[in-house]
Amino acid sequence: MGRREILRLVAGFRRFRDRYFVGEEALYQRLSTGQTPKTLVIACSDSRVDPALLTDASPGELFVVRNVANLVPPCDPGRGVHGVSAAIEFAVKSLKVEHVVILGHRQCGGIRALMSDTAKESDEHLFIGKWMKIAQPAKERVLARHQGEDFEALCQHCEMQSIASSIENLKTFPFVRQAIEERGLELIGIYFDLEKGELFEMASDGTSFTPIDITARA
């Protein structure tokens, strides 16, 4: 990273510090003793879809996991190390979040690579192909249901279908199922269309997405 880029980041931190530490000392004093976020967001690593920026969230509001294509793997404690699963476990069991939001988005590079078969394991990509296999069932469902549609439409369908698949995968974690049954943990699918600046919410059965009226007040 060049010196100029570091200075740009530091200048950003200075603005952040002025805004939060000077303006909201009480908030920071409270946060210095622990966090109590109500929402876990699983979002893409894509630089255009930062969940805290998109929702104008304050420090302490969102517990966030970001990865390529905002995917949740199925519960598989037997093999490997699992950063995403560990974060979900901590958020659900220890922080006792009330909602888990899978935040997908338009123009997702991971989904595009999956749909175009460029994500396959190769010398160039050691890890992406294996990771994107999590969304392979979503791809197959999209190809079966939307035969004949153009590539852009197929990518968009898969961006949405993979959200539904991740929500299904969330339910394979015993502690997630337990939290749903015992304290009403909600699993929510949201899709951000960054071309149109619109949000869509997934129906509870995962089969469709409808536009969210963003003028509605909380």
Question: Residue numbers of the site for Zn ion (CB under 5 A)?
Answer: 44, 46, 69, 108
Catalytic residue among 75, 108, 155, 158: 108
Nearer to Zn ion, 42 or 108 (CB): 108
Catalytic residue among 14, 48, 145, 183: 48
CA distances from 154 to 31, 69, 98, 112, 130 (A): 43, 15, 33, 9, 21
Catalytic residue among 44, 75, 155, 158: 44
Mark whether 158 is an active-site residue: no
Q: How far is the CB of 126 from Zn ion (least distance, A)?
A: 19
- According to DSSP H, which parts of 25-173 are helical? 25-31, 51-54, 83-89, 109-115, 128-132, 136-145, 151-170
Q: Which strands sit side by side in the sheet containing 198-202, from one edge to the other?
A: 62-67, 39-44, 99-105, 186-193, 198-202, 209-211
Nearer to Zn ion, 44 or 164 (CB): 44
- HSE at residue 51, side-chain half, CA atoms within 13 A, is 24
Q: How far is the CB of 180 from Zn ion (least distance, A)?
A: 26
Catalytic residue among 14, 15, 19, 46: 46
Q: How far is the CB of 45 from Zn ion (least distance, A)?
A: 7
Mark whether 44 is an active-site residue: yes
Please report how the helices 136-145 and 151-170 are oriented relative to each other, as an axis angle in degrees rounded to 10. 130
Q: Which residues contact 96 (CB under 8 A, 6 or more apart)?
A: 179, 183
Q: How far is the CB of 212 from Zn ion (least distance, A)?
A: 19
Nearer to Zn ion, 114 or 176 (CB): 114
CA distances from 9 to 13, 14, 15, 18, 60 (A): 6, 9, 10, 14, 21
Catalytic residue among 75, 105, 106, 155: 105
Nearer to Zn ion, 24 or 50 (CB): 50
Nearer to Zn ion, 125 or 177 (CB): 125
Mark whether 105 is an active-site residue: yes
Q: How far is the CB of 49 from Zn ion (least distance, A)?
A: 7
Residues with catalytic roles: 44, 46, 48, 105, 108
